């Protein structure tokens, strides 16, 4: 790396507060000396935000000082200088400057985490303020003289400085003395300052409380009383102090008749009580008394808010919870309370019944009956929010009581409550749709909320699916009949673009489609779809589709229904030889034609955006005929910029997958083939697809290899289209290009297997050729095994990926693991293990152990029985005893149709391998031909049926945005502008900065730790002036990425320390013959995702030259989840030079 590029690259590193301290101090000094009006105030307010940033950052370590060429503790010197300048400015007579200074420190106080105030380590902590005596002296000057307003500001400032002011006896005395002032503003400010110190000093808090109670009982000023009421929440430095303060506050609140003061005390006492379960019980009783005594509406509303705060904050040990429920049930009928209060009541009831007292028997039958009636009445409310909360509570009650409690209440019983709630919800949906003129977005939002509540019930009561669908069909039919004119297709003007998207019928249909898709997806994962349920769903979809324009949701709805439905029945049927017989392709003919017709209709109407969404849904659900048609049409419409490359890539991707699906056309039946030819779909994009006369047979036929090769080439073209997009921000297509690369490797490896199958030697005399062929299959099995880990890696690299997307990627990893297992175990040639060595494992036995371990780890949560069989096979194979210590890394979280199909293949594959193992034990080398034939047939069957399982894309594939990654900055001496250089024979000491990049501002993931591995070998040598600018989206092409990320995972979890030590000398297959040095580094990130550390690499034996250090990083979030990070910058380049000889 040349000098200028290295220097420019290093200056891209973001500077933290410590590095900016001197600059900030100088700017503030200049502004305070400025004669320009208002400039000083502006600078003071600007330094306020900087101080907040400074407080949130961890104290700098030696690496920070070295990276930014700072003197140790230089930042403290300048921070204290800044504080002193602010104190000098406050001492001046300028009122505006004084107010600005107080605002700065009040903002810093409010930005702190109050729950950790004692652990505060910001710029105002006692340990970091070295000149606190000088600061306090300047404020005391203002406090000792001046007007009451200036003294009030000085007292507020002392409160903000409580961390270093609380140790001064003189300051304590001045604050307590000010409480007796005759000026209200000064008394209020002194109460604030005393409360801040009371949070840190228990002895001071006791004195302050006594004086405060005396003032509040003797004064007539409401302002002082209100100020005193607000600070009671801060008097909880210790449990004994909190208890004392609570009793004093309780007496003040009980004896007060002023509503404003009472409301303030209720809030303060509730915050104080929430810190102790014992005090909170007393506060609950106190708050309930205001509800039962029918106080004013404002006091009752405040009591409800405080009760909710206490119960949401933590568990309450109040014993008489039945009385609380009774009081809350009565509050539901209170007409004086607002909608917000009624919602608070419903939230409280739900919290108490299901979290505080989860045992339903704590209420007797009569109480439950009253509760249910009151909630049912609230569910009929015309206020949407109240109704939703009430229905949600009824749903929870139905789930809790059903099957646990039989209590007769009139004509209904609690055992029938789930059905009652379903009927109630459907009645509400019907009532909402009676008057179409009143429909708006809020009503449709309420309908969505009600449908989501239905899902909660049927997910727990799978026997109610049929009942639910029957009620939905009845409701839809009723609504259609009720508004027959509105829902008539002839009433919708297809040529008008503006209104049809907002048409009521469309919006209602969209909501139903989304709901039914979720229902079917859940059924496909858990219980499967029976014929009865499927018929009802089909009838429902048909009835709605006839009345509205078909859109992207409906395009894939039928496809998802059939895919989910077919798994449970078709995958159970087997041929006589035990191989699973997948007959579902015949059933897809009608569906594929239907989706293609809908796609053509969308394109004909010129609805590009709905068509794009339809193509997206098609790809996400594996309908590649429709996706190819849509993306091919859209790509022909765009001729410039980002969209051209994106749509071209999508078309090539869809075309590749369609080529794979074309291999299944004979199984689909002649109907789809005839339709495709009639509509000229096959040749629509100048592709020659001679498939009609091909009959399904063995995968070893030449057409399969040809189509796989064509699909592979299309996938490569898809990736190249994204790579050539110069208008797109760097790193925007990271996920897409990586995913396409893995899919291409997958199909390319399958193509290699098919090619090998076409050329397997049939002569038993050519043992060397057979062994060579088996070795090739072993290498391909390792390729699949690596691909499975790469899919794991892509799932952990894109931070914040949701469960649905992770499930799709995990299913693909299971795909690769299955194919690796089948390829590695297909040919069990006798005595082969003694003569065959592979490239990446020690011997043949270890290879098979690795394959078994990989498959068990993924299959364990899906099919426990097959996993146990694999464990027995593992023991029989004789692999290393420690090979099962890293299972279950990426679990499959649901049982969607892909996973059901793959698990079925896994069961067959494992049973066949065990059967062939028992047969091969009695064979000799004379039976090699039979072993090879059986292995070919086994592998051909697996691949044929694997192709039949639909491939679908995770939804995040269509989210184009820069990926979250990291950049690494390294120096040895920040003052040297010639890069990193060390003499020969010395160790390399590096100061490191790891910077997270592209973090979305609204992300919910909070990174708490970051880790990095750096490694270098003799083969990493480069020319000294090589200005490598590694593209971030090409980082996955490195052969070491899987192994290095696994080492990082081991280091982070400390689960494999011995293995890490053993592997110090080798990091990848390319480095087995050389010595590779490596180091692990831990970082603590600040709020900007920036962490600093240092490391030492032993490069003392590296010859003179320039070497590139490779690196990878990872992070752990606040939930303990492990995430990999793509490197977005090249590794540092260092030079080893020869020391000049003496003399």
Mean pLDDT of the region 694-717 = 79
Interaxial angle between packed helices 365-379 and 321-332, expressed in degrees from 0 to 180 and rounded to the nearest 10: 30
- Which range among 55-59, 327-331, 600-604 shows the weakest confidence by mean pLDDT? 600-604
Mean pLDDT of the region 827-851 = 60
The two three-digit tokens of residue 1058, written as one number: 């011995």
Q: What pLDDT was estimated at residue 557?
A: 44
Extents of the domains making up the chain:
783-962, 964-1137
- Which range among 170-174, 735-739, 884-888 shows the weakest confidence by mean pLDDT? 884-888
Mean pLDDT of the region 380-404 = 79
Instruction: Kindly report, residue by residue over 152-195, the tens digit of the pLDDT.
Output: 999 999 999 999 999 899 999 999 999 999 999 999 999 999 99
Q: Is the pLDDT of residue 403 over 60?
A: no
Q: Kindly report the number of other CB atoms within 10 A of residue 802's CB atom.
A: 10
The two three-digit tokens of residue 952, written as one number: 């679908």
Mean pLDDT of the region 1084-1110 = 92
Give me the torsion for CA of 109, 114, 116, 121, rounded to 10°.
Answer: -10
- Which range among 154-163, 843-852, 958-967 shows the weakest confidence by mean pLDDT? 843-852
List Cβ<8 Å contacts ≥24 apart for 1139-1142.
Answer: 1139/983, 1139/984
Q: Is the pLDDT of residue 674 over 80?
A: no
Q: Is the pLDDT of residue 646 over 90?
A: yes
964-1137 CATH fold: Immunoglobulin-like (2.60.40)
Instruction: Kindly report, residue by residue over 329-364, the tens digit of the pLDDT.
Output: 889 888 888 888 999 999 999 888 876 666 656 677
DSSP result, 63-87: HHHHHTT--TTHHHHHHHHHHHHHH
Mean pLDDT of the region 73-79 = 92
Q: Is the pLDDT of residue 946 over 60?
A: yes
Mean pLDDT of the region 1111-1118 = 92
DSSP-H helix ranges across 798-863:
803-825, 844-859
Which residue, among 653, 665, 761, 745, has the nearest Cα to 704 in the 3D structure? 665
Highest mean pLDDT among 248-252, 294-298, 867-871: 248-252
Q: Is the pLDDT of residue 841 over 70?
A: no
DSSP-H helix ranges across 860-896:
864-877
Q: What pLDDT was estimated at residue 118?
A: 57
Q: Is the pLDDT of residue 858 over 70?
A: yes
| Contact assessment for residue 88 and residue 138, using Cβ atoms and an 8 Å cutoff | yes
Instruction: Kindly report, residue by residue over 95-143, the tens digit of the pLDDT.
Output: 999 999 999 999 999 888 654 555 788 899 888 898 889 999 999 999 8
pLDDT band, very low/low/confident/very high, at 897 (cuts 50, 70, 90): low
- Which range among 599-603, 635-639, 771-775 shows the weakest confidence by mean pLDDT? 599-603
Q: What pLDDT was estimated at residue 568?
A: 40
Question: Quick one: what percent of the chain has pLDDT higher than 90?
Answer: 32
pLDDT band, very low/low/confident/very high, at 835 (cuts 50, 70, 90): very low
The two three-digit tokens of residue 344, written as one number: 């608070």
Q: Kindly report the backbone phi and psi dihedral angles of residue 43, in degrees, each rounded to the nearest multiple of 5, phi listed first.
A: -70, -40
Q: What pLDDT was estimated at residue 116?
A: 53
Instruction: Kindly report, residue by residue over 206-253, the tens digit of the pLDDT.
Output: 999 999 999 999 988 899 999 999 999 999 888 899 999 999 999 999
Q: Is the pLDDT of residue 578 over 70?
A: no
| CA 74 vs CA 127, 341, 535, 1091: distances in Å | 15, 54, 76, 19
- Which range among 502-506, 537-541, 899-903, 1117-1121 shows the weakest confidence by mean pLDDT? 502-506
* pLDDT mean across residues, the chain: 79
Q: Is the pLDDT of residue 798 over 80?
A: yes
Q: What pLDDT was estimated at residue 558?
A: 46
CA dist 78 and 46 (Å) reads 16
Q: What pLDDT was estimated at residue 688?
A: 45
Q: Which residue has the higher pLDDT, 417 or 546?
A: 417
CA dist 662 and 673 (Å) reads 10
Q: What pLDDT was estimated at residue 569?
A: 43
Mean pLDDT of the region 568-579 = 48
Q: What pLDDT was estimated at residue 325?
A: 87
Angle at Cα 588 formed by Cα 584 and Cα 591, nearest 5°?
A: 150
Q: What pLDDT was estimated at residue 700?
A: 64
Q: What pLDDT was estimated at residue 523?
A: 63
Question: Quick one: what percent of the chain has pLDDT higher than 70?
Answer: 73
pLDDT band, very low/low/confident/very high, at 652 (cuts 50, 70, 90): very high
Mean pLDDT of the region 296-309 = 92
pLDDT band, very low/low/confident/very high, at 27 (cuts 50, 70, 90): very high
| Contact assessment for residue 1114 and residue 1081, using Cβ atoms and an 8 Å cutoff | no
936: exposed, middle or buried (Cβ count in 10 Å: 0-12, 13-18, 19+)? buried
Q: What pLDDT was estimated at residue 1130?
A: 86
Q: What pLDDT was estimated at residue 758?
A: 84
Q: Which residue has the higher pLDDT, 395 or 1035?
A: 395
Angle at Cα 742 formed by Cα 814 and Cα 815, nearest 5°?
A: 15
CA dist 64 and 992 (Å) reads 8
Interaxial angle between packed helices 465-482 and 441-460, expressed in degrees from 0 to 180 and rounded to the nearest 10: 160
Distance of CA 358 to the CA centre of its chain: 30
Mean pLDDT of the region 782-793 = 93
Q: What pLDDT was estimated at residue 782?
A: 92
Q: What pLDDT was estimated at residue 597?
A: 76
Q: Is the pLDDT of residue 478 over 50?
A: yes
Mean pLDDT of the region 1059-1083 = 56
Q: What pLDDT was estimated at residue 407?
A: 45
Mean pLDDT of the region 465-475 = 79
CA dist 276 and 1083 (Å) reads 36
Q: What pLDDT was estimated at residue 423?
A: 87
Mean pLDDT of the region 20-47 = 93
Question: In a 3-state reduction of DSSP, which class is residue 783?
Answer: helix
């Amino acid at each position: 790396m040349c000098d200028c590029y290295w220097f420019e690259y290093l200056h891209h590193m973001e500077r933290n507060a410590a590095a900016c301290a001197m600059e900030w101090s100088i700017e503030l000094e200049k502004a305070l000396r400025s004669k320009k009006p208002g400039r000083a105030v502006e600078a003071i307010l600007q330094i306020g935000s900087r101080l907040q940033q400074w407080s949130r950052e961890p104290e700098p370590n030696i690496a920070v000082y070295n990276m930014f060429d700072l003197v140790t503790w230089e930042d403290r010197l300048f921070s204290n200088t800044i504080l002193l300048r602010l104190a000098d400015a406050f001492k001046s007579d300028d009122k505006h400057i004084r107010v600005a200074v107080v605002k700065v420190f009040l903002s810093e106080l409010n930005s702190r985490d109050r729950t950790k105030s004692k652990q505060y380590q910001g710029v105002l902590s006692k340990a970091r303020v070295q000149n606190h005596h000088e600061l306090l002296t300047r404020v005391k000057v203002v406090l000792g003289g001046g007007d009451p307003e200036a003294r009030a500001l000085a007292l507020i400032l002392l409160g903000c400085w409580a961390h270093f002011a609380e140790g001064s006896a003189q300051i304590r005395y001045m604050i307590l003395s000010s409480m007796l002032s005759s000026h209200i503003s000064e008394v209020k400010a002194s109460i604030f300052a005393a409360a801040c110190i009371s949070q840190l000093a228990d002895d001071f808090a006791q004195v302050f409380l006594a004086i405060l109670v005396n003032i509040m009982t003797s004064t007539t000023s409401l302002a002082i009383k209100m100020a005193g009421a607000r600070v009671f929440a801060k008097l909880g430095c210790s449990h004994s102090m909190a208890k004392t303060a609570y009793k004093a506050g309780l007496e003040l609140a009980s004896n007060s008749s002023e509503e404003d003061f009472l409301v303030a005390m209720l809030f303060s006492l509730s915050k104080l009580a929430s810190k102790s379960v014992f005090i909170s019980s007393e506060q609950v009783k106190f708050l309930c008394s205001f509800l039962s005594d029918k106080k004013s509406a404002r006091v009752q509303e405040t009591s409800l808010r405080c009760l909710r705060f206490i119960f949401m904050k933590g568990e309450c040990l109040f014993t008489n919870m039945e009385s609380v429920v009774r009081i809350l049930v009565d509050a539901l009928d209170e007409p004086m309370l607002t909608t917000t209060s009624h919602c608070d009541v419903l939230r409280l009831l739900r919290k108490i019944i299901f979290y505080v007292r989860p045992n339903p028997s704590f209420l007797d039958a009569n109480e439950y009956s009253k509760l249910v009636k009151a909630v049912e009445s609230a569910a009929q409310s015309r206020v949407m929010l109240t109704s939703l909360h009430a229905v949600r509570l009824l749903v929870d009650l139905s789930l809790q009581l059903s099957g646990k409690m039989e209590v007769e209440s009139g004509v209904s019983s609690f055992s029938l409550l789930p059905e009652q709630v379903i009927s109630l919800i459907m009645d509400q949906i019907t009532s909402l749709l009676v008057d179409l003129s009143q429909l708006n977005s809020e009503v449709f939002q309420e309908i969505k909320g009600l449908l989501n509540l239905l899902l909660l019930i049927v997910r727990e009561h799978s026997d109610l699916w049929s009942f639910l669908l029957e009620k939905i069909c009845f409701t839809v039919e009723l609504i259609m009949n009720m508004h027959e004119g509105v829902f008539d297709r002839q009433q919708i003007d297809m040529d008008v673009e503006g209104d049809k998207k907002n048409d009521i019928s469309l919006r209602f249909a969209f909501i139903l489609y989304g709901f039914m898709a979720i229902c079917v997806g859940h059924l496909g994962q858990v219980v499967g779809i029976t014929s009865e349920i499927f018929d009802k769903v089909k009838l429902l979809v048909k009835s709605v589709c006839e009345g509205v324009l078909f859109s992207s949701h409906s395009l894939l709805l039928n496809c998802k229904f059939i895919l989910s439905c077919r798994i449970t029945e078709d995958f159970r049927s087997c041929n006589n030889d035990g191989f699973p017989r997948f007959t579902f392709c015949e059933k897809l003919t009608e569906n594929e034609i239907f989706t293609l017709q809908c796609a053509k209709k969308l394109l004909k109407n010129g609805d590009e955006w709905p068509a794009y969404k339809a193509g997206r849904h098609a790809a996400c659900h594996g309908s590649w005929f429709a996706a190819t048609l849509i993306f091919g049409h859209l790509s022909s419409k765009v001729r410039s910029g980002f969209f051209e490359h994106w749509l071209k890539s999508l078309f090539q991707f869809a075309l590749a997958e369609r080529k794979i699906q074309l291999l299944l056309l004979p199984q689909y039946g002649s109907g789809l083939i005839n339709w495709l030819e009639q509509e000229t779909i096959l040749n629509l994009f100048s592709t020659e697809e001679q498939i009609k006369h091909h009959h399904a047979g063995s995968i070893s036929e030449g057409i399969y290899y040809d189509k796989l090769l064509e699909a592979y080439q299309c996938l490569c073209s898809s990736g190249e289209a994204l790579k050539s997009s110069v208008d797109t921000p760097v790193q925007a297509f990271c996920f897409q290009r990586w995913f396409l690369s893995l899919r291409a490797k997958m199909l390319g490896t399958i193509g290699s297997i098919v090619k090998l199958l076409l050329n397997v030697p049939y002569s038993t005399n050519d043992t060397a050729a057979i062994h060579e062929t088996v070795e090739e299959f072993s290498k391909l099995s390792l390729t699949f095994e690596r691909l499975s880990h790469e899919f794991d890696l892509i799932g952990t690299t894109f931070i914040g990926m949701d469960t649905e997307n992770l499930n799709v990627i995990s299913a693909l990893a299971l795909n690769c693991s299955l194919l690796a297992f089948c390829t590695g175990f297909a040919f069990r040639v006798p005595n082969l293990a003694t003569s065959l060595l592979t490239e990446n494992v020690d011997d043949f036995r270890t290879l098979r152990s690795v394959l078994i371990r990989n498959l068990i780890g993924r299959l364990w949560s899906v099919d426990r029985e097959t996993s146990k069989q694999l464990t027995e096979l593992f023991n029989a194979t004789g692999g290393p005893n420690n090979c099962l210590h890293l299972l279950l890394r990426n679990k499959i979280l649901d049982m969607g149709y892909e996973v059901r199909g793959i698990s079925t293949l896994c069961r067959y594959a494992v049973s066949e391998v065990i059967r062939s193992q028992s047969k091969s034990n009695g064979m000799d080398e004379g039976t090699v031909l039979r072993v090879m034939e059986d292995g070919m047939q086994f592998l051909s069957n697996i691949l044929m049926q694997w192709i039949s399982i639909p491939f679908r894309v995770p939804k995040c594939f269509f989210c184009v945005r820069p990926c979250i990654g990291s950049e690494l900055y390294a120096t040895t001496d920040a003052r040297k502008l010639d890069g990193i250089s060390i003499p020969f024979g010395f160790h390399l000491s590096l100061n490191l900065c790891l910077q997270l990049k592209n973090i979305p501002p609204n992300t919910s993931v909070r990174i708490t730790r970051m880790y990095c591995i750096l490694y270098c070998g003799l083969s990493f040598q480069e020319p000294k002036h090589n200005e490598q600018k590694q593209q971030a989206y090409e980082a996955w092409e490195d052969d070491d990425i899987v192994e290095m990320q696994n080492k990082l995972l081991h280091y982070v979890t400390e689960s494999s320390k011995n293995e890490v030590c053993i592997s110090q000398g080798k990091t990848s297959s390319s480095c087995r013959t050389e010595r590779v040095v490596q180091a692990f580094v831990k970082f603590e990130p600040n709020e900007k995702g920036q962490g600093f550390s240092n490391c030492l690499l032993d490069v003392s034996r590296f010859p003179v030259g320039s070497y590139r250090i490779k690196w990878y990083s990872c992070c752990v979030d606040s939930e303990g989840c492990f995430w990999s990070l793509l490197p977005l910058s090249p590794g540092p380049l260092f030079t080893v030079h020869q020391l000049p000889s003496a003399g």
